Amino acid sequence: MIEVSSVTLSAPLSPRFPSPFVLLQYADDTLIFASANSAALRVLKFVLHLFQKVSGLLVSEQKSTIVPVNLSEQQAVVLLEFFGYAQAALPMLYLGLPLTIGRPDRSCYQPLITKIQQRLQGWKSKLLSRAGRLTLVSSVLTAIPTYFMSVFLLPKWLIKSVDKERSRFLWGSNMVGKQKVHLMAWNRICLPKAVGGLGIKELQLQNQALLLRWIWKLYTDRSSLWFLATSSLYSGAFNSASPLTWNQMGSFFLD
């Protein structure tokens, strides 16, 4: 029997946040944020127990993990023993994106690099015309980083690495036994066809365009969780009606 004095669970977030979230859910995944104290742990265990009783469903211990943040090793052990779940650590993948504290490091982008390399590996042995390779670069290789680019400002080294792979494949340099001369500069290839380019999207510009959506949401949807969390972290900087400068936007995404 689990006894709790009050079924209240608060998230360990900034006190300036007017409506702290305790959980995030998408499809069949649930993230629960809670303070690592005995009262919160008992409430959380009670909520999970109640969920199982009411729904008839079971929480999978094999698929459930606990991620201690800013806890000592002793505190983490107590937490793990209380729930019996496995321990995980940041950075970790959630919905295909790295979940971490601070800026993602190189290891966080490895799944993206691996995915591109796997695609290229499957195409190396195929005899493709230049037109066919152009189609694959434009429709497949260029699309792979889109999900990452909609959330993160990709570092220059990563964009350069992806561009190198796209360019090499386009000119046939990635194919076994072939090293081709690149007949056109990459920045010209990325120009629209109307001005002499091949119409391949420039990743840096595409990345900036996708991230501007988040700035737009700050000014158009002030009831959203995104606005509440961001505004609290930046001390209400987005409450002003005046738009951000490009330098401020760049600084915001780097943070």
pLDDT, tens digit (0-9, with 9 covering 90-100), for 218-231: 888 888 878 877 77
Residues 242 and 136 in one domain: yes
Q: How confident is the model at residue 203 (pLDDT cuts 50, 70, 90)?
A: very high
- Letter for the amino acid at 83? F
Tokens encoding 109: 């982008």
CB of 74 within 8 A of CB of 68? no
The mean pLDDT value for 161-170 works out to 91
Position 22 pLDDT exceeds 70: no
Domain with 42 in it = 23-89
> Using the 8-state DSSP alphabet, how is residue 92 labeled?
E
The pLDDT mean for the chain works out to 80
Cα within 13 Å of Cα(68), Cβ side:
19
Tokens encoding 190: 């990325």
> Helix and strand tally (H, E) in the chain?
10, 6
pTM exceeding 0.85: no
CB of 22 within 8 A of CB of 43? no
Q: How confident is the model at residue 5 (pLDDT cuts 50, 70, 90)?
A: very low
Residues 160 and 68 in one domain: no
The mean pLDDT value for 63-92 works out to 85
Residues 125 and 225 in one domain: yes
pLDDT at position 149: 94
As a whole-number percent, the residues of the chain with pLDDT over 70 amount to: 79
Identify which has the larger pLDDT, 175 or 102: 102
46 located within any domain: yes
As a whole-number percent, the residues of the chain with pLDDT over 90 amount to: 25
Position 2 pLDDT exceeds 60: no
12-16, 136-140, 177-181: which is most confident: 136-140
pLDDT at position 126: 65
Residues 219 and 110 in one domain: yes
Spell out where 34-156 has E strands: 65-66, 86-87, 92-94, 97-99
Residues 59 and 174 in one domain: no
Residues 170 and 252 in one domain: yes
Residues 176 and 234 in one domain: yes
Position 145 pLDDT exceeds 90: yes
Strand partners, 31: 24
Q: How confident is the model at residue 18 (pLDDT cuts 50, 70, 90)?
A: low
116 located within any domain: yes
CB of 66 within 8 A of CB of 80? yes
How many domains in the chain? 2
What span, in angstroms and rounded, lies between the C-alpha atoms of 50 and 47?
5
41 located within any domain: yes
Residues 138 and 200 in one domain: yes
Residues 137 and 250 in one domain: yes
Strand partners, 177: none
Residues 184 and 112 in one domain: yes
